[in-house]
Amino acid sequence: VEMVKTLYSILHRSLDLTSMSENILRYSKVLGISSIINKKSNFLFLSDLKKISGTQFHKLVICYKIAYIKEIEKFLGISLPIILDSPSGREVTKENLDKIYELLASELKENQIIIASIYKNPYLSSPCMIELNEEEKIFGISDSVLFK
């Protein structure tokens, strides 16, 4: 608990929480979930996200991740990467996934975006895409050995 209070204190002094809150609200409007955020409360440091479920939860997490990245970048003066593991595997429809990818592409133009997914998306283009297929090996070991 003490460590959380210290972290909150550092973040509160170092980052522009108003800007972060505004970004979360803006991103939530883009993703169609602004109604789940209580604008009158201090929603920035929600502790009970379990009340939000399914697709809404995952879209809200994306809003928070992008907003935190943008504010930390301003503080550090560098671009940060974002890593998403199988964003399509969490009750998220293709339409919602497209909205998420479009938001990532528009807000993180200069960032490295790493997505582990079985689907390609037209909103994110990359000069470097690593594709694995059934014949590919991880660390020189076939997946049949790794996943017995």
Secondary structure in 3-state letters for 19-56: HHHHHHHHHHHHCCCHHHCCCCCCHHHCCCHHHCCHHH
Query: How many beta carbons lie within 10 A of that of residue 50, not counting itself?
Result: 8
| Token pair for 122 | 């037209």
Angle at 44 between CA 70 and CA 51, to 5 degrees: 125
pTM of the model: 0.74
Token pair 């959380």 is found at 4
45-77 residue pLDDT tens: 665 666 777 888 889 889 989 998 998 888 788
